[in-house]
Structures are given as structure tokens and as C-alpha cells.
Structure 1
Amino acid sequence: MVFFGLFLPVLIAGGSVYMFKINKIVLKLIVAFSGSYLLSLVFNELLPRIYNILAIQSLSDTQNNLIHNHEGHAPHYIIGLLILAGFFIQLLLDYLTKGIEHGHTGHPHIHEGKCEDNHIHHTSVIPVLIGLCLHSFLEGMPLADGLSNVNLQNRLLAGIIIHNIPISIVLVSLMLQFRFSMPKAFSFLMLFALASPAGALLTHFFGSQLMAGSDYFFNYIMAIVVGIFLHISTTILFETDEGHKFNILKFITMMVGVFAALIHF
């Protein structure tokens, strides 16, 4: 379910570019919804869960250390460092992706929808694709744990799916502007679609086989992804419209996203 949930929506959203004219206003609203959804999920579910699990683990470790007369360790500070690491990892990825993750549709090498040098511009898409694949790979990693909570896993999966829809649309639109053939554009889209499932599968293998299912390992992975979500969601929400005008439709969409993340399903 997780694999198809991460894979198919990307292909469908990207493929829709060939069938429908994309409305930029709708695209921006989807981006705003996904940003507020992820931010709400982070503060209301993911962060409390990380520290709750850490408290339980620390209590268990303390009891074991007392029994075996070992010195204890307090990894609480590591969580904060990993969240910051995730935040700055995403900041670095932004230099590759040109901000596509948070709805930027422009590209510095496109002028009036035309490319002056086909070879140069085809190669310039590669860093964008690499950055997006790394971003998507990291996002899929927490789903490897199963989260011990089906409702939370479903909501996290839904958040990633919604977040990836506008990314897929913008990525394919970018390749069309660069005069990519359909087979080449589709193969690049496939790579992006496989990135999140690959992150989940490899993390599951590494965590269960090499780390012996360590709860600390999966908790640390979640902390990094929380940092990534914080960067993306705050960038989306704090970006202003032209003229710094208040956009009531965007604000309502954000509020819907906040409350949608609280729905259990």
C-alpha cells in the first residue's frame, strides 16, 4: 500500500500535464494546503511522538543501567540537532531544485518558454531531478518503521502524496519547456516516483537487518524528516503574494490543511 501510495500519484499527477492545462492558482493552493498540512502534522503528531518515544526509551535504558550498573546516556539533545540537520539539508537541496518543493515554477534558464541551447538546458534539469529524488528519498524513510500507529502512518503518507502532486506537475512542466521528448520526461518522472518508495524500503532493510530494529534509529530518522518538513512548510506559508496582499483564499486553504492533518483515518 505504501509503495503504490507513493508511486502512482506521482505518475498520475505528472501525466496530467499532457492531458490538461494546469491552473497556476489551483497549483498554488495545493502547495499551500500541503505546507499547512505538514506543519500541523509536525507540531501536533510527529514532534510529540518523537519525544514521547525518547522518554520511554530513556526510562527503559535507565532501568537497565541500574540493573547492570552501567552509566546511562541522555540522547535528548541529539533530536534537536537532527531536526536542525534536516532543516539545513533541505536548504542545501533547494539550491539544486530551485525551490520546486515549495511551489516555485520559474527557472533561471527559461526565457519566454524557449531554450536557447537544447544541450545546456537538458543537462541543467539533471541537478533539479537529483535534488528532488534526494528530497523524496528522505521523505519516504520514516514510513519504513510503520510508525506503530496506522492512523499516523496514513496521515503522513497522505501528506507526502499531496506534497508530491505539485512537485510532479512542475517537474514535468519544466521538462516540457525544455523540449524533452515524452519517453525521456516519463523516465525522469519514474525516477522521481521511485525515490520515496526506495527510501522506505532501504530504511526498513537497514533498520531491521543492520540495526536490529533499533527504536533510536527510526526515531532519529523521523527527527531529520521533521526538520525537512519544517523548512518546506514554513517556506510555503511565509512566502507572500505580490504586493504583500492578504489572500483570503490561500489563508482558508491553509486552515483547511491544518485541520485536515488532525483527522484520523
Structure 2
Amino acid sequence: MIWKSLLLFFAAFLGGMSVFFFKGDNHKQLRLILSFSGAYLFAITVLHLIPDAYHGNDNLVGVFILGGFLFQIVLEQFSDGIEHGHMHVHEEAAFPVGIMVSLCLHAFLEGMPLAQGQQNQLVFGIALHHIPAAFALGTVLLSNKQSKNSTIFFIVLFAIMAPAGFFFSEALSNGNIGNLQHYFNRIMGVVIGIFLHISTTILFEAGPDHKFNRRKLIAVLLGVGIALGGFLTEL
């Protein structure tokens, strides 16, 4: 639906644009959003996406989940962990091509599960997750001497990737793109693997020394609790 696409777009766009208004490296609120969204995505993946992917009795789905997990590790060799809100500033002024390509591909794949039945809950988790990711992207672009207009252009490009993935996946699941709908669960397996890697990495890396302080613990419990509450109301 249109409102889901708009929510995904504006969450990433406004998150990226906020780089022009908030300076410095201490962004505690962004870290809390990361912790909440990571816990929420993990819970949604376990409660909804994995059972849905195995609903078709395809025994190879697990292979694709593992492949997606490993694929995200490869992506992060180019993205420097921006998916987790990490901001690694480099001294060179070259445009970070690897970061941009890997992050856009990541966002496109993240939008694909929204064609599934439980997308109403998942869309909020993805939107929240993209706020700190877009902020980190904007920070990296500015640190690499990109102009304000160029930075805005690439933030917009990133912001449209998740809605594009949603529309592609919807066309795929409806059989509008050849016969690829027969492989939809396997494609979703790749996305599930990516979600598992992203969410668990966020949970274990959002705090210093991998420790859960009180605020992070509350954010994680809220994320899991909201996802679990939504799941139980649907039983």
C-alpha cells in the first residue's frame, strides 16, 4: 500500500536529512532506536517470517537463510557496517561507491518481506532501522567531501530502495514477473538470513563492551514485547 511505501521513504529520508541539523558523534537516541529496531526485527523474523517461509514445505529454505546470513557478511565488507548505524569516517575524499551500492542493495532486499501477510508490523521495524542507517550514510557522505546537493541525492536514492523492494516483491509474489513466484520462499530465505545477521549484530554491538545498560535493555524488551504482543493478538 501507498502509506507503507511513504513511511519507509520518509523514515530514511528524514533520518538522512537530520545529519544537517545534528552534529557530533554522541547520538544516544539513535543507539536506542537501533536497539529497539534490532530487537523488533529479530522477533518479527522468528515469529512470522521464518514460519511463513517454511509453510510451503521447501526443505531448501534453510540453505537460503544461511546464504542470506553469509551474504550480509559480504555486504558489510563494503558498507563498513552502516546498516547498524556505524559511522566510520575516512580521511580520503573519494565517493564511497562500495558503501552506497551495498547499502542500497541491503535496503532493497529489506523491503521484500513486506509482500508477506505480516507486513504491517514489519514495516515499522524496517522504517525505524533505516533512520540511524540513513543518518550514518549522510555523515559518511559529508565526511567524504560530498556537496550538500549530492548528499541529498544519495539519501533520496537510499530512501527509495526499500519501497522499490516492496513493489518488486509484491509483483513477484503475485506472479507478475515470469514464474519467479515459485521461488518466493527461497528469496525470502535470503532476506531472513540478512535480518538475522543485522538484528543480532545490532543487539550485541549497540552498547560499549557488548554490555546491556538499563536504557538499552528497556529498548530491547520493548521491541520484543511489542512484536510478541502483536503476534499473540493474531492467534
TM range (shorter): 0.7 to 0.9
Q: Does 1:209 align with 2:176?
A: yes
Q: Which runs of 5+ in 2 are unaligned?
A: none
Q: Aligned to 1:167, what secondary structure does the other structure show? A: helix
228, 231, 235: which one aligns with 1:262: 228
* Contact 1:87-1:227 within 8 A present in 2 as well: yes
Name 1:100's counterpart in structure 2: 82
Aligned residue type for 2:177: L
Shift of 1:233: 0.9
Shift of 1:243: 4.5
Name 1:40's counterpart in structure 2: 43
Counterparts of 2:192 and 2:211, CA distance in 1: 30
Shift of 1:242: 3.5
* Contact 1:100-1:167 within 8 A present in 2 as well: yes
Aligned residue type for 1:126: V
Counterparts of 1:241 and 1:188, CA distance in 2: 28
* Contact 2:85-2:135 within 8 A present in 1 as well: no
Calculate percent identity across the aligned residue pairs: 40
Name 1:133's counterpart in structure 2: 104
Q: Aligned to 2:228, what secondary structure does the other structure show? A: coil
Q: Which runs of 5+ in 1 are unaligned?
A: 56-74, 110-114
* Contact 2:34-2:202 within 8 A present in 1 as well: yes
Query: Per-residue displacement from partner, 1:228-264 (whole Å, max 9, x unpaired)?
Result: 0000111111227435544121111111111122343
Q: Aligned to 1:180, what secondary structure does the other structure show? A: coil
Q: Aligned to 1:237, what secondary structure does the other structure show? A: helix
Counterparts of 1:190 and 1:210, CA distance in 2: 26
* Contact 1:142-1:221 within 8 A present in 2 as well: no
| TM-score normalised to structure 2 length | 0.88
Aligned residue type for 1:29: L
Aligned positions of 1:11-50 closer than 5 A: 11-21=13-23, 23-50=26-53
CA RMSD in angstroms, aligned pairs only: 2.1
Q: Does 1:3 align with 2:10?
A: no
Name 1:84's counterpart in structure 2: 66
Aligned residue type for 2:36: F
Query: Per-residue displacement from partner, 1:90-138 (whole Å, max 9, x unpaired)?
Result: 110000110111122223x2xxxxx4xxxx5232x12111110010011
Counterparts of 1:21 and 1:168, CA distance in 2: 14
Q: Aligned to 1:137, what secondary structure does the other structure show? A: helix
* Contact 1:142-1:218 within 8 A present in 2 as well: no
* Contact 1:10-1:168 within 8 A present in 2 as well: yes
Aligned length: 227
Name 2:93's counterpart in structure 1: 121
135, 152, 162: which one aligns with 1:169: 135
| TM-score normalised to structure 1 length | 0.78
Aligned residue type for 1:84: L
- Structure 1 or 2, whichever has the larger Rg, is 1
